[in-house]
């Protein structure tokens, strides 16, 4: 509960402190949803993926295509994005869970490349490399217009993030979530206890897809354009970096990693437009070497509460 | 799930091309206890792993309650009533005691966890602690309780007393004896401590290089010091 209040407080503080950067902050929320979705399968289930943007892009394109075809109500668009993401998660999980380890990682890269290529080729529906433009979203609840400054989009995104976070907290704390953590630690033991591993992981992939799809739909609604970057390998890789930076398997780590990474990227790229990537790289190396458990792991260690991290893989 | 008989017929198993168990046959009646003895490396752990479906079986049958489970995966075997408490304990180190137990109850209501706490009150005291924070004895209690909550009809215990303090061993053996006395499960115990193994079970099986070297009652083995020294080691029985 305290964590949720903290997220709301930080979100509202961002609204008041950075009124000229609400578009960026909304993008941070959308990407945070993507990183949260990755945390579900990587942090809680131990399935590493470099193709998570497939699910994000599926949600973004589904919402975008629905919007240009007359479905303009934002909550409905988010629901469409979530369903599309869940379906993409089902497909991705069905393929990826047939393999293990490195082969699984390679499959995830292949999947995101295929999604990217499909979005590029289906230009009649997606706009191809030009992107899908012309999204005219109706006012939220028929009242709140999506204004030029991005206030409505930001507050809508913040509300979405809070709802998704609460739902995910419930899921990862449930017996299903515990089973996922058990699978991550020792799938052989889980099988020997009479549980089936594949359906459990597949279910988590579907949930993960719904969350990523929600993020994609939010990005589409807020920017009113969907580009190929929303289904790119680069976005997938960045999401994994943000998760590692924040810390796996805590949900909070996904949020912290996203905010720190995107905030740092924004600030440093403004200070030094030529070498900002070098500084981002240096930050990552420093965090990974100094805090293998990510920033949340470091925080817990400093507070002496890093019990889960000390227990090995979380 | 009530206790079930276990019949193993001409079982051969191993790892990759290496045959560890060869032509092993024995029967345990429903609700009975069997101790499996032998020196290190003779195939005791491999036998239990093979019964659980965790390593490769080359040939032979494994019948639980008359049904052949030899071709089933480990998850199916567990659902048919086979439960293994492994030598390595394999508790989930990053989950709390209670979370470990919840993972073990499968489709049963969460309230059945009380059964585990009644069996091992120490687990109740430490229910909020993470797996890695437990002592070896507590980890063994947790591993045992987690398996038992799955209501196995055939329980396989692989060296549960290894490396534990005598007082913890007594506590664990008392719990195993209570379980066995309830008649709700057939129990196979692999144990290096000969006295404990003989006190626990009515019958004994000795493995020597992957084959059954001797089968009989605990009393018969206890009375034959020469047999003990030959197969298990000098001074094992006091």
The complex scores an ipTM of: 0.87
Q: What is the pLDDT of residue A142?
A: 87
What phi and psi values does residue B31 have, to the nearest 5 degrees? 80, 0
In terms of residue numbers, what domain contains B131? 6-231
Q: Are B196 and B169 in contact (CB under 8 A)?
A: yes
Q: What is the pLDDT of residue A232?
A: 95
Helix (H) or strand (E) holding B136: helix B136-148
- What is the spatial distance between Cα A58 and Cα A217, in angstroms, rounded to a whole number? 9
More confident residue, B36 or B231: B36
Note whether A192 contacts B146, CB cutoff 8 Å. Answer: no
Q: Does the residue B238 lie in any domain?
A: no
Please tell me the distance in Å from B230's CA to the nearest CA on chain A. Answer: 35
Q: What is the pLDDT of residue B234?
A: 55
pTM of the full predicted structure? Answer: 0.89
Q: What is the pLDDT of residue A274?
A: 82
Tokens of B70: 């030899």
- CA–CA distance from A276 to each of A56, A198, A271 (Å)? 26, 42, 8
Q: Does the residue B141 lie in any domain?
A: yes
Q: What is the pLDDT of residue B237?
A: 55
Number of domains in chain B: 1
| Minimal-distance CA residue of chain B relative to A313 | B94
b vs e for B172-206, b when ≥16 Cβ sit within 10 Å of the residue's Cβ? Answer: bbebbeebbeeebbbbbbbbbbbebbbebbebbbb
Please tell me the distance in Å from B78's CA to the nearest CA on chain A. Answer: 5
Q: Does the residue A111 lie in any domain?
A: yes
| CATH number assigned to the domain comprising residue B13 | 3.40.50.300
Q: Does the residue B14 lie in any domain?
A: yes
Q: Does the residue B210 lie in any domain?
A: yes
Q: What is the pLDDT of residue B183?
A: 84
Q: What is the pLDDT of residue A308?
A: 54
**Average pLDDT of B24-48?**
94
First to last CA, chain B: 38
Q: What is the pLDDT of residue B238?
A: 52
Percent over 70 (pLDDT), chain B = 98
- What is the spatial distance between Cα A221 and Cα B225, in angstroms, rounded to a whole number? 82
DSSP-assigned letter for residue B130 = B
Q: What is the pLDDT of residue A64?
A: 96
Note whether A185 contacts B94, CB cutoff 8 Å. Answer: yes
Q: Does the residue A258 lie in any domain?
A: no
Q: What is the pLDDT of residue B49?
A: 95
**Tens-digit pLDDT profile for residues B144-200:** 999 999 889 999 999 998 888 888 888 889 888 888 888 889 999 999 888 889 999
Note whether A178 contacts B93, CB cutoff 8 Å. Answer: no
For residue A49, which of A187, A248, A200, A218 has the smallest C-alpha distance?
A248
Residue A285 burial (CB count, 10 A): 10
**Tens-digit pLDDT profile for residues A91-148:** 999 999 999 989 999 999 999 999 999 999 999 999 898 999 988 899 999 889 888 8
Strands B203-208 and B33-37: parallel
Note whether A185 contacts B133, CB cutoff 8 Å. Answer: no
Query: B225 pLDDT band (50/70/90 cuts)?
Result: confident
Number of domains in chain A: 1
Q: Does the residue A85 lie in any domain?
A: yes
Residues written for chain B: 238
Percent over 90 (pLDDT), chain B = 68
Q: Lowest mean pLDDT: which of A5-19, A223-237, B98-112, B118-132?
A: B98-112
**Tens-digit pLDDT profile for residues B58-97:** 999 999 999 999 999 999 999 999 999 999 989 999 999 9
Q: What is the pLDDT of residue B140?
A: 92
| Minimal-distance CA residue of chain B relative to A173 | B99
Q: Does the residue A263 lie in any domain?
A: no
- What is the spatial distance between Cα A182 and Cα A189, in angstroms, rounded to a whole number? 8
- What is the spatial distance between Cα A18 and Cα A15, in angstroms, rounded to a whole number? 6
Q: Does the residue A169 lie in any domain?
A: yes
Q: Does the residue B236 lie in any domain?
A: no
Q: Does the residue A223 lie in any domain?
A: yes
Q: Does the residue A273 lie in any domain?
A: no
**Average pLDDT of A1-15?**
92
The answer to whether residue A311 scores a pLDDT higher than 80 is: no
The answer for B 97-126 residues in CB contact with A (under 8 A) is 99-100, 102-106, 110
Q: Does the residue A254 lie in any domain?
A: no
- What is the spatial distance between Cα B161 and Cα A68, in angstroms, rounded to a whole number? 68
């Amino acid at each position: 509960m305290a964590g949720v209040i903290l997220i709301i407080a930080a979100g509202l503080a961002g609204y008041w402190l950075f009124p000229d950067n609400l578009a960026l902050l909304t993008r941070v929320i959308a990407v945070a949803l993507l990183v949260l979705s990755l945390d579900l399968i990587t942090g809680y289930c131990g399935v590493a993926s470099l193709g998570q943007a497939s699910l994000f892009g599926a949600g973004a394109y589904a919402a975008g295509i629905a919007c240009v075809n007359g479905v303009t109500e934002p909550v409905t668009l988010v629901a469409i994005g979530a369903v599309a993401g869940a379906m993409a998660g089902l497909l991705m999980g069905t393929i990826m869970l047939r393999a293990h380890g490195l082969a699984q990682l390679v499959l995830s890269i292949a999947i995101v490349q295929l999604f990217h290529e499909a979005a590029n080729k289906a230009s009649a529906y997606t706009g191809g490399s030009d992107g899908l433009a012309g999204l005219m979203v109706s006012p939220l609840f028929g009242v709140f217009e999506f204004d030029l400054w991005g206030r409505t989009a930001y507050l809508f995104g913040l509300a979405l993030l809070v709802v998704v976070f609460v739902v995910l907290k419930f899921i990862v704390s449930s017996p299903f979530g515990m089973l996922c953590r058990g699978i991550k630690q020792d799938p052989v033991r889980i099988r020997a206890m009479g549980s089936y591993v594949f359906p459990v992981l597949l279910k988590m992939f579907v949930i993960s897809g719904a969350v990523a799809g929600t993020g994609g739909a939010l990005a589409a609604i807020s920017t009113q354009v969907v580009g190929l970057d929303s289904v790119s390998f680069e976005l997938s890789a960045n999401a994994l970096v943000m998760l590692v930076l924040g810390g796996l398997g805590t949900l909070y780590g996904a949020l912290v990693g996203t905010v720190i990474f995107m905030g740092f990227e924004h600030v440093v790229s403004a200070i030094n437009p030529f070498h900002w990537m070098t500084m981002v790289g240096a930050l990552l190396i420093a965090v990974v070497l100094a805090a293998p458990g990510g920033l949340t792991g470091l925080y817990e260690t400093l507070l002496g509460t890093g019990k889960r991290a000390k227990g090995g893989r979380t | 799930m009530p206790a079930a008989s276990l019949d193993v017929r001409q079982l051969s198993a191993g790892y990759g091309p290496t045959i560890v168990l060869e032509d092993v046959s024995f029967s345990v009646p429903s609700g009975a206890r069997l101790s499996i003895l032998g020196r290190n490396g003779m195939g005791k752990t491999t036998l239990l792993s093979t019964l659980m479906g965790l390593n490769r079986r080359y040939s032979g049958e494994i019948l639980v309650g008359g049904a052949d489970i030899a071709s089933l995966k480990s998850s199916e075997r567990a659902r048919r009533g086979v439960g293994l408490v492994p030598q390595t304990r394999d508790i989930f180190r990053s989950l709390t005691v209670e979370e470990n137990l919840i993972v073990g109850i499968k489709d049963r209501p969460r309230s059945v966890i009380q059964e585990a706490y009644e069996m091992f009150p120490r687990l109740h005291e430490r229910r909020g602690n993470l797996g890695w924070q437990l002592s070896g004895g507590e980890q063994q209690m947790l591993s045992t309780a987690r398996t038992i909550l799955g209501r196995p009809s055939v329980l396989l215990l692989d060296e549960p007393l290894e490396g534990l303090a005598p007082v913890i061993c007594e506590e664990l053996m008392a719990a195993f004896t209570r379980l066995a006395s309830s008649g709700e499960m057939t129990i196979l115990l692999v144990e290096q401590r000969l006295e404990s193994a003989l006190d626990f079970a009515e019958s004994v099986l000795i493995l020597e290089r992957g084959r059954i070297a001797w089968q009989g009652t605990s009393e018969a083995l206890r009375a034959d010091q020469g047999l003990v020294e030959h197969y298990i080691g000098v001074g094992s029985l006091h």
